[in-house]
A = this chain, B = another copy of it.
Amino acid sequence: MRIVGPDELRAALSPRLVLDAVRGALIAHAEGRTTVPPPMHLVFPDVDGDAHVKAGMLLGEATFTIKLATGFPHNADHGRPTGGGALLVASARTGDVLAVLDDQGWLTAVRTAAAAALASDGLAPAGPVSLGIAGTGTQAALAAQWLRELRPVEHVLLWGRRPEHAVALAATIDGAEPIEDLARLREADVIVTATASRQALFPADAVRPGAHITALGADMPGKQELPITLLRSATLVADDLDQAQDHGEIARLDEILRRDVLLLGDVLRDGHQRTPGRTTVADLTGLGIQDAAVAEAALAALSF
């Protein structure tokens, strides 16, 4: 069993390798070439923490992956990272555990940011975009950087529940402006929501018709970022229908609308023909197959 540390992982995986791995994983998933069991979820109410366990396997690949990702927000009170975790990579031929990836949450962060960027790029109107971001956590911090791997981002509007956090994060992102009024998101072509909200962050008219939204926050039942009126009138895309129906934004829609949800992997493979003036929403819950794909990419880059 080999241990791969966080620095080794960062050195091994370029943004291009992560994007290629995640794109391939999402397409394979849409084509039914993956095994992705329902995730596990543990909560730690005393410290407002949670943990997710996800597993994934690309059919025919030599390995499968089990991923633990944790979120303990009070770690920040002690100047420590809020995200953590590790991955076990095992042989799909013998079950042998081949490697422990001591990613401390980094692989989860970048595979999520990569999927968000791929969704935003695949669904937003063509050309340079202005980007609105709701949230000031890890995914908010990564959103502009990863979308810029795929297309120009001219202006970034950044909103946080606590304005001082938005000011601080905006200072670290090229072309970013902190905003206090979510109505200014109407200036954005692409909006990324990455909060722990349990209710709609803004009314439907805070979004310009024809804009694209990538929603990342709803990772367990009860979480919600978007108003249901917006979902009802939008073109909906999900990374996985079961997970999105269980705990994503679309969990609140009735069965008939759910049938109209597109799979992100299909969009990435075939492209998407936009309807002018129609908003698109990518509801991303995060898949174990993304973890498996970036783990495989890391091990391949390390000549494992």
A40 touching B37, Cβ below 8 Å? yes
B90 touching A64, Cβ below 8 Å? no
> How many copies of the shown chain assemble into the complex?
2
Cβ of A70 under 8 Å from chain B: yes
A53 touching B75, Cβ below 8 Å? no
B44 touching A68, Cβ below 8 Å? no
Check A35/B42 contact, CB under 8 A, given A53-B53, A75-B95. yes
Cβ of A47 under 8 Å from chain B: yes
Task: Please indicate the chain B residues that have their CB under 8 angstroms from the CB of A275 in the complex.
Answer: none
B94 touching A80, Cβ below 8 Å? yes
Cβ of A24 under 8 Å from chain B: no
Question: Count of chain A residues with Cβ under 8 Å from any Cβ of B?
Answer: 39
Cβ of A100 under 8 Å from chain B: yes
Cβ of A284 under 8 Å from chain B: no
B55 touching A53, Cβ below 8 Å? yes
Cβ of A281 under 8 Å from chain B: no
A51 touching B95, Cβ below 8 Å? yes
Cβ of A302 under 8 Å from chain B: no
Task: Please indicate the chain B residues that have their CB under 8 angstroms from the CB of A83 in the complex.
Answer: 95
Cβ of A96 under 8 Å from chain B: yes
Interface residues, chain A, CB within 8 Å of chain B? 1, 3, 35, 37-38, 40-44, 47, 49, 51, 53, 55, 57, 64, 66, 68, 70-72, 75, 80, 83-86, 88, 90, 92-97, 100, 102, 104
